[in-house]
Amino acid sequence: RECDVWLSLGGFHERGPDWDSTGRIYNCHLLLDSSGALVAAYRKLHLFDAELPGAPALRESSFTNPGRELLPPVDTPVGKLGLAVCYDLRFPELAQALRGAGAQILTFPSAFTVPTGAAHWEVLLRARAIECQCYVVAAAQTGRHNAARASFGHSLVADPWGTVVAQCQEGPGLCLAQLDLSYLEQVRRDLPVHGHRRGDIYGAL
């Protein structure tokens, strides 16, 4: 309210209506409008369970319930915003479903591990931008959570051509990008890949 801005925030740990029966939380991505009102709450669909060499085992499913629905894109002052969280980035079907529902911007608030972030963070974000011909906005936690775990950081924004137009480095930071929806439409006209999808062969998204 004070800054008259919208905020995309995640992930928040939420006790859902099934807390008493499951004892598990949901990993939520919240969208607030400029009045401070909650516009949307997306519950992360894909839970991160991984054992990487030299890194602590992470088992999100041991304390988290997976979400059960993909939210339709939300109308915002900067375009139609699709909500996802962190590990969801590795599932292009999710991003394509949001694109098919009208998304112009895909958001992935994240806490990527250092090994996976160094190897995959930028390339996955750019791939989702290119495949979906969307802007991709990915705020990323950075720094050490505890003695065993650290997050990669490197928040970035990629445009519909896959170009990184803004990026932070290690440590806390702020990056700014201008989203040009006329450019997005030009990219989609020039290379109409979404209309070339063969849903009749491999299923519609």
pLDDT tens digits for range 106-119: 999 999 999 999 99
Band of pLDDT at residue 28, cut at 50, 70 and 90:
very high
Cα gap 149→111, rounded to integer Å: 10
pTM exceeds cut of 0.85: yes
Tell me the mean pLDDT in the region 7-14.
94
pLDDT tens digits for range 113-146: 999 999 999 999 999 999 999 999 999 999 998 8
In 23-77, DSSP assigns E strands to 26-32, 38-43, 49-50, 58-59, 74-76
Q: In this predicted structure, what is the pLDDT of residue 24?
A: 97
* Cβ atoms 28, 34 nearer than 8 A: no
Q: Vertex 120, ends 116 and 124: CA angle to 5°?
A: 135
User: Domain residue spans in the chain?
Assistant: 7-196
Q: In this predicted structure, what is the pLDDT of residue 166?
A: 98
Pick the CATH number of 7-196 from 3.40.50.300, 3.60.110.10, 3.30.420.10, 2.20.130.10: 3.60.110.10
Q: In 62-159, where does DSSP find H-type helix? A: 92-100, 114-116, 122-132
Tell me the mean pLDDT in the region 21-43.
97
Question: 136, exposed or middle or buried, with CB in 10 Å at 0-12, 13-18, 19+?
Answer: buried
pLDDT tens digits for range 154-187: 999 999 999 999 999 988 999 999 999 999 999 9
Tell me the mean pLDDT in the region 76-93.
98
pLDDT tens digits for range 48-77: 999 888 777 899 999 999 999 999 999 999
Q: In this predicted structure, what is the pLDDT of residue 80?
A: 98
